[in-house]
Amino acid sequence: MAAVNMELAGQVASAAGLEPDDAALVRELMTVWREHRASNLEREDYYLGHVSVKDLGIAMPASLAKKINPRVDWPRKAVHALADRSIFNGYTCADERTSKALRAICESNQLERLYRKNLIGELKHCCGFWTVTDGGGYPVISAYPATAAAALWDDARKAIRAGLVVAESKKMPGDTERVPTVVHLLTDDSLVVLTRDGGSWAAEYREHSMGRCLMEPMAHGATLERPFGTSRISRSVMSITDDAIRQRARMEVAAEAATLPQTWLLGTYKKMLNDGNKYDASMGAVNEITKDPDGDKPTVWQSAQLQMAPLTEYLRQLACQMSAVTNVPVSFFGVSNDNPSSSDAIAASLEPLVIDAKNLNRDNGTALRNVAYMALAVANGTDFATERDAGHEINPRFLSPAYPSTVSLSDALLKQVQALPKLANSTVAYEMLDYTDEQIQRIESDAKKAQAGAAIASLFEPKEGENGGGAD
């Protein structure tokens, strides 16, 4: 989503028809958004690789650093390395009817793809937001990044008290940012649709019986002090990235100097070379310099060729620091070992990242479960508490973040089935083998078809003791 200039929506608090208490909420939410706007946009720049060289002014002039302008995508790699191990694969449910309803909701809202997009925003900025609204008796699930949303946290209820999202926006000619045209204010008892018409705003109230705010946060690394989490692109990540960009610039300068070492003529009678032929003289196959009027000849001195190894080693150290901060293997940042690693060594290097992914799935699973409860409440015309207490045992399902091989999964499942025979008749066995929800449904459907075909065929088989000479 492109950057949204919510400063232009400052007059939304004075929308026609907006209640005074809700207007105060809008102003408070706009203040929250402004306080975090700069840091969110800064992390967006690091994620996109739009950060220039922060030169120290020692090794190279600022003009040269600006001309080289190297890029380092390590923050993006830190985000995607974790996001790639958090793959949402629908819901599991004890009730068959509810399971079918959830499957239909996921398909109509493309929830698995939407989760991936919201996850990227969560890891970039610290938090992504879900909203569930009524689309004429059918739940509409939407996702918003922190750059286009704001929320107020209720510590007592451990939930959002009120939220503000940009539901629609458009880009004006000649402007790089999008301008909000529809803004949603979400509270415990209503959805306030704020629409822009020209230069003024109007409010429309849509009351709901959900019993809670229609907004759910999905926070990365949430703590008691930071309920909306922390960004994957931390200050340490940004600092190391600045060092790496600066080192890339030094390496470019050193590579140029190593390609063409400096040559000096000492003791010349007058200036022998002009600016136009310095390069030609240095690259010529045969060069000739005559003696001066006193019969002396100049001395030719060439500087030693620069070595790239120390520069490369420092960049490797920066990659190791980035690996330690993000728990991402150093090979992900372009640093490889001469000797290939064993499978056990690769698994050991990935273990911290896998642990982070499991914690992420556990936290995000709570948010997705609450989204499912709200979606079912809209579909069934009930409220959040009713669906939560119905006892359907709704749980989000994620594929294994360890990416185990099919052989190891099969061996482990075989041993568990031998110890727990009931497991063979459960769909949990399919989930342990990392089959997707679509594959599980196809397997179950094909099995039912095969059983039905076998039952029909058995009806036409002659029974024992009957002759096959005719039919009654």
Question: Could you report the per-residue pLDDT of 181-213, keeping only the tens digit for each?
Answer: 899 999 999 999 999 887 789 999 999 999 999
Q: Is 92 exposed, middle or buried (0-12, 13-18, 19+ CB in 10 A)?
A: middle
Indicate the pLDDT class of residue 359, thresholds 50, 70 and 90. very high
**pLDDT for the residue 465:** 59
**pLDDT for the residue 283:** 47
pLDDT, tens digit, for every residue of 93-112?
988 899 999 999 999 999 99
pLDDT, tens digit, for every residue of 33-68?
999 999 999 999 999 999 988 877 776 767 777 778
Task: Give percent of the chain above pLDDT 70.
Answer: 80
In angstroms, the CA 81 to CA 101 distance is 33
Indicate the pLDDT class of residue 264, thresholds 50, 70 and 90. low
pLDDT of 130 above 90: yes
**pLDDT for the residue 284:** 46
Across 284-309, average pLDDT: 62
Angle between helices 74-83 and 235-259 (to 10 degrees): 130
**pLDDT for the residue 262:** 65
**pLDDT for the residue 285:** 44
3-state secondary structure of 142: strand
In angstroms, the CA 192 to CA 13 distance is 12
**pLDDT for the residue 297:** 66
- Is 20 in contact with 212 (CB distance < 8 Å)? no
Which range has the worst mean pLDDT, 115-129, 326-340, 362-376? 326-340
Q: What rounded mean pLDDT belongs to the chain? A: 84
**pLDDT for the residue 120:** 97
* Cα–Cα separations (whole angstroms), residue 266 to 261, 298, 386, 397, 452: 16, 5, 91, 75, 98
In angstroms, the CA 4 to CA 8 distance is 9
- 15: how many CB neighbours lie within 10 A of its CB? 23
pLDDT of 240 above 60: yes
Indicate the pLDDT class of residue 320, thresholds 50, 70 and 90. very high
Q: What single-letter amino acid sits at 330?
A: V
